[in-house]
Structure 1
Amino acid sequence: MNNIGYSYLFWAACLLGLSGCHRIYNGKIFTGLVWLFTYGLFGVGQFIDLLLIPSMVEEHNTKVRAKLGISSQGVPLYHSNGAIAMKASVPQTRQQLMLALLKAASVKGGKLSVTQGVMATGASFAEVEETMKEMLKTGYVSVDNHPETGIVIYDFHEL
């Protein structure tokens, strides 16, 4: 969290020819550099910032608190038990899963492994493997092995 006192101290750096340090300190990088190269907008902007520093510090601290998930009183805004939250996905129908696998295979040159299918669709390994086997039975795909790794590759003929 930024301190108003330090901001005023950085503002005083304009006496040494370093205008805009207080803006950079408070996260306003672009305008801080403009102030630095124009001597605080020819002194006018630097002088006006004397009045704006408290709101600049508060704005910066509010943004930092929001990123950290902390209220202005220092209380966490959400409860976390340390576990990583997973986004719940809507279960796909078999038809939607087949379509997603076809699109993924199209991007991969007509060949797709189960792992690539899982990555592309977000479905479980069991769901993807079962769907691929179903497509194999109906003749939409054939099975091959990768020549170097031996991984099972499903070859989509029409892609």
Structure 2
Amino acid sequence: MKAKSDVNDSKKTQSHQERLLASYILTAAHFFGLSGLHRLYNGKIGTGLLWLFTWGILGVGQFVDLFLIPDMVDEAEARLKLKAGVSRFGVPLDVPVTTSQVYESPKKEETKPLNLRLLKAAEKNGGKISVTKGVLETEATFEEVETTLKEMMKSGYVSIDNDPHNGAVIYNFHELS
């Protein structure tokens, strides 16, 4: 049993091949004095009429078109898809997009390094921050916040204290207090 996408792909290929075959058959109409029908069929009205009235530019243009027909067919199919509201790849162009389908870019704050976001959070809190407050302010994980604060402590930028009211571990940024 074929998958649905395989069936759709085979239909697209079949339609493309049918249009290609019809274009080549219409090219053969040149031998009956009707040049340019393949161009008219593929939506190239101006050059199709030119070919029709000049016998395919005396047959030279008609001959060159034998090599250009596959591209003409591709362009014609793309125009038809666009007219039908579908992209070249078969994606509907006018379907409303829900917010769950859209990739939301990260907030400006989240693109900054975590240590900078923690510094800004500590600055808001008088130079002091706990791991929990750091998580709330930066939306990083507890592990990430705690690891970053410990690294900053090793560098000498931060010291550790306990909150006298609840005993929570507080990281003090001396330069910010």
Which of the two has higher C-alpha Rg? 2
| TM-score (normalizing by structure 1) | 0.47
Higher relative contact order, chain-length normalized (CA < 8 Å, sep 6+): 1
TM-score (norm 2): 0.42
